[in-house]
Every structure is written in C-alpha cells, then in structure tokens.
Chains A and B, each alone.
Chain A
Amino acid sequence: MALLSLRDVRIHDGVGGRDLVHGVSFELSPGKVVGIVGESGSGKTLTCRAVLGILPEHFRVSGGGIELDGRDVATLTRKEWTALRGGTVGAVFQDPASYLNPSLRVGPQIAEVVRVKKGLGRRDARRRAVELLGAVRLRDPERVYQRYPHELSGGMLQRVLIAAAIAADPRVLIADEATTALDVTVQAEILDLLADLRERTGLALVVVSHDLAVVAQLCDEVLVLRAGETVEQGPVERILYEPRHEYTRLLIDQHERYGLDRFRELDHVA
C-alpha cells in the first residue's frame, strides 16, 4: 500500500486569487523514491509543504487529496498533524543553519526532538541523539553533539538536520533542495547517505531538486514540474531516454550538450 499518495493536488493562493499548483499526483511505497524536478516557481516546494501540512498563510489545498499512511490529511486535527510530522513524515530543506537555534549546541536540539517525539527520558534521549549523529555518518558523534551550529560546515549541518528529521523514525523523508547549497562532493555525500538510509531502513524518499541529474541518480519515478503543471511524469529511464516534453529535453540537454555527459556520450558511441 502507498505510504503517501497525492491525487490531483491543487494549491490556491488566497492573496493572488489563483491556483499555483494545478494537479500533482503520485504514489510512494515503502523504500521507493519519487523525484520532483522544477525551478523556482514550479510549485515543487508548495507541494512538499502541503504534504507536511505547513503551507504558508493564505495558501490552501483547493482540490484533489493527500493521503499519508492511509489517512486523508484534510481531516487531521492540529494535534494529529503534530504526531504525523516527524513520526510518519520528516523533511530537510536547503538552508540547514536556519532550522537550528544558533545559540544552542546541536546535540541537545536533536535530543529534544527525541524526547518530545519518542517520549524518552533525558539520558536515553541523549544516547539516542548521539546514535542518530552516528547514523548520518558524522565522524565522532560525541564531539559533534557538543558543537554549536556555527562550528559545523554546511554538509555537517545538513547531516545534523537529517538526524533530527529521522529521529522519530518517519517512513517518508522529503528532501527539498537539501543539497543545492553544498559543494558537489558534499552533495554526493548527502545523496549517498539518503540512498544508504533507504536501503538500511526502508525509508521512502521524496527528492526535490532543480537538477534532473540529482533526482535521476536516486529515483524510481520522476515528475517534472513547470509553473505548477506536471509536464512530464514516469519511470526515470523513460524520462531520460524518451522525454516527451520540450522542457524535459532542455533539462537533459543541459547535461548532454553542456555538461559532463557530453564526453560520456561520445565515448559511448566510439
């Protein structure tokens, strides 16, 4: 059964008086990865926020439906949402530093999540937080536990955020441009970590990026969003080898004609 299913989701901007997302549908099963590709303004972040129940003020889901673990999210009370966030679905975003309190050490911030979401006592929460820091492959988790956010690099902070996001054992993790601000070698570390978590724990992923290649590496199914419309959707191989929409072709061109793939393609032919 699908862990997460979106059926023709439309999102309305009450201030602008128009729909910004015009019907997004996909289903996500345990251990699977769905990728959403799109540029700023494509509606990809609004879609994620709708799934998390954190749409900005004045925005609402105006059509279609979202089911999380078999429950229609439109019927959820605030309390039920709070339980679902973290416990069923977690998320990481582009700018990890802004999600941490700069004046607190990072370890206790994760321990706090564990205490609230899992109901553990202080000592157990601390032990679990250190475990989580290890699970996201941070070297020397005990030391990282004691660090303030400003003492960590961008890649380390994103790992800390992933540790916090998986603290309550969610079954779905949404990574919205989670590697965009990072160096490419660090981006690969984070993507490798996500692939690793998926294999080890069966975590299902929604990977959102402006870069088709980032999504293609990890995903089973891809949605290409543009100006709130799904212009292309299907299994990743089909999208890469038989793109139907002009915009998808442009995203492919970016790599094949103007990127690393231009060398690989030629070598392949030779």
Chain B
Amino acid sequence: MSLEVSDLDVHYGRTRALRRVSLSVAPGQTLGVIGETGSGKSTLARAVVGLVRPSAGRITVDGEEVTRYRARQWRALRRRGVVQYVFQDPLRSLDPDVTVEDSIVEPLLIQGRPRREAADRARRLAARVHLDEELLSRLPGELSGGQRQRVTVARALVTDPRVVILDEPVSALDAANRVRALELLKQLRDAGTALVFISHDLGSVAGVADRIAVLYQGGIVEEGPARTVVNAPRHPYARLLVGSAPTLRSAAADRAQREELRELLQNIGGPA
C-alpha cells in the first residue's frame, strides 16, 4: 500500500475530531474522501501530512510507519519527496517572488541535484501538466488560477512521489480548468501514482476516484468502489449526500426522500 491509515484518532483538547479512521490507497489508485464542514476532513488531511499528531492509530507511507514521527523526520520524508501535497489555493502555496521554474524544481535543488538536470525536468513536467514552457520564467502572480494550479501539481510530481494528497484541488477553478485538472489527475493515476483526493464536493471526486470514503462527524460511515457508493449508498448520511449532489439527469433522491433522511439523521446522531 502507498498509504495506509488504521484506527486513527485525533483529539483537539477533549474534542475527538477523528474517530477510528481507517483507509488505504494502492499504487495507481485514487481514493476520494468526501467530507462537509465539521466532518474532520481538514484534520485528516493535516494528520496524514504530519501537521497534527494523532492520539491513537497508525499511518504508514510507502511501507514506512510515520505515526510518531517528529517534525524533523517529517521534513526529511518530505525532502525525499515520497509523499507530496496539493492544496486548494495555489497562490498561497507558491512563493510570489520565485519564478515558476524555480518553484517546480525547488524540491530537487534541496536534494542537491544539479541545476541543469532540474531545469530539464521542469520542462518535461510543464509539458506533462500542459503548462506552456514560456510560463516557466514568470512569477506566480502573472499566471491565471488554472495555470497556478498546474504549477503546484508539477511541483508535487517533481520528486516522483508514491502518494499525492490533494486537498480541494479543483474547488477554486472554473469549469474549463476544473475539467483539465481532473483529466490531469486521471493521467497521474494511470501512471501509477496513488492519489488521495479530499474534498467536500462529491461531484468532482466521483469524476476521478476509484474508491470513495465518506467522512461524517469524524468517522468514516461509508467506503467502497465509487460506483457502489454513488449508486447504492447504505448509511443514511451517505444516502443524503448522494441524494443532495446536483446532477444533470434526475437527482438521485427527491425532496421527500431527502426530508426523510434528514429526519433520520437527526434521530440517530453521529457515528459511534
């Protein structure tokens, strides 16, 4: 497994933000994690990148147990580039004073690879993410939102990571760029990279994920092949989520069914 999380608990003080979360992603597989406000989605994203410490459970990245890693060990792990991250707002994750090329190859330069090799690699990655080569010499502020997002993806790929964690990677993009970004993610997956696509938006996740996990009040209430989760969800919350997602052809649930599910959820409360 490229990433394996088992029985993960995270507490903020007395609040239990994640409860016994287990998931795994194999090479070349995309796992979509759906969560709405307060579901623990951001906590999960932060936990698997070493930004919050779990109170119980295990995280394994490419066979290496990282659960108890200190900040220094996480930095070393990041330097090796085994696991990479793409976040929602590319403008904030790119240094405004650093050219696109330097941003992309920074992880290689930190590893001490020669400049010429890095520049060559930047050009190949730009082609791979459909970024015009001439944009490599620009600053992030001179790029459109969609182009900036492609830069962050190129940077995430520069170290040939085993796992890429994507936190809301397409939420800020318009229709055309969203479709391009999702197409790019499919290509990455087909090239063997394991992807974890974390988002509140079931629609875009369903577009690329092989498997989908639904996070609700800190716990995973549904997990399975994307097609099964979309067509035959079992947990009431998963049913409400699927039945609420806007689709073009008739909705999965009608108003009365949604109302029933809302009532049901009110009564059963969160996951144990």
Contacts and interface: CB of A to CB of B under 8 A. Distances in A.
> Do the two chains belong together in a single complex?
yes
Interface stretch (B3-11, B80-88, B110-118, B195-203): B195-203
Contacts of B16: none
B248 A256 contact: yes
Contacts of B245: 184, 188, 260
Interface string A234-270: 0000001000000000111111111111111101100
A259 B208 CA distance: 8
Contacts of B246: 184, 187-188, 211, 213-214, 216-217
B244 A184 contact: yes
A124 interface: no
Contacts of A263: 206, 226-227, 230-231
B231 A212 contact: no
A207 to B, nearest CB: 12
A255 B248 contact: yes
Given A39-B174, A250-B175, A263-B231, A187 B206 contact: no
A148 B141 CA distance: 39
A192 interface: yes
Given A250-B176, A267-B231, A255 B255 contact: no
Contacts of A250: 175-176, 179
A265 B259 CA distance: 26
B213 to A, nearest CB: 16
Contacts of B230: 260, 263-264
B56 interface: no
Given A183-B37, A184-B36, A258 B204 contact: yes
A196 interface: yes
Interface residues of A, number: 39
A95 interface: no
B204 to A, nearest CB: 7
Contact of A258 (B179, B226, B242): B179
B175 to A, nearest CB: 5
Secondary structure of the A contact surface, majority rule: helix
Given A211-B246, A217-B246, A257 B226 contact: no
Interface in B169-192: 174-176, 178-179, 182-183
A265 B252 CA distance: 13
B267 interface: no
B38 to A, nearest CB: 9
B33 interface: no
A240 B248 CA distance: 7
B255 A192 contact: yes
B102 to A, nearest CB: 30
A262 B255 contact: no
A251 B175 contact: yes
Given A184-B241, A189-B262, A259-B207, A264 B36 contact: no
Interface string A178-210: 000001111111001001100000000000001
B182 A258 contact: yes
Contacts of B207: 257-259, 262
B247 interface: yes
Interface residues of B, number: 37
Contacts of B244: 184-185, 187-189
Contacts of B161: none
Contacts of A264: 230-231, 247, 249
Contacts of A211: 246
B225 to A, nearest CB: 10
B36 A195 contact: no
B89 to A, nearest CB: 16
B118 to A, nearest CB: 33
Contact of A188 (B203, B248, B258): B258
A212 B200 contact: no
A252 B248 contact: yes
Nearest to B253: A188
Contacts of A212: 248
Contact of A185 (B178, B204, B240, B255): B240
A42 B255 CA distance: 31
A144 to B, nearest CB: 16
A185 B231 CA distance: 17
A207 B18 CA distance: 37
Interface string A211-230: 11110110000000000000
A213 B255 contact: no
B264 interface: no
B247 A255 contact: yes
B251 interface: yes
B54 interface: no
A39 B226 contact: no
A262 B241 contact: no
Contacts of B140: none
Contacts of B231: 263-264, 267
14 contacts: A184-B202, A184-B244, A185-B36, A189-B244, A240-B248, A240-B249, A250-B179, A254-B178, A258-B178, A258-B208, A260-B230, A263-B206, A264-B230, A268-B249
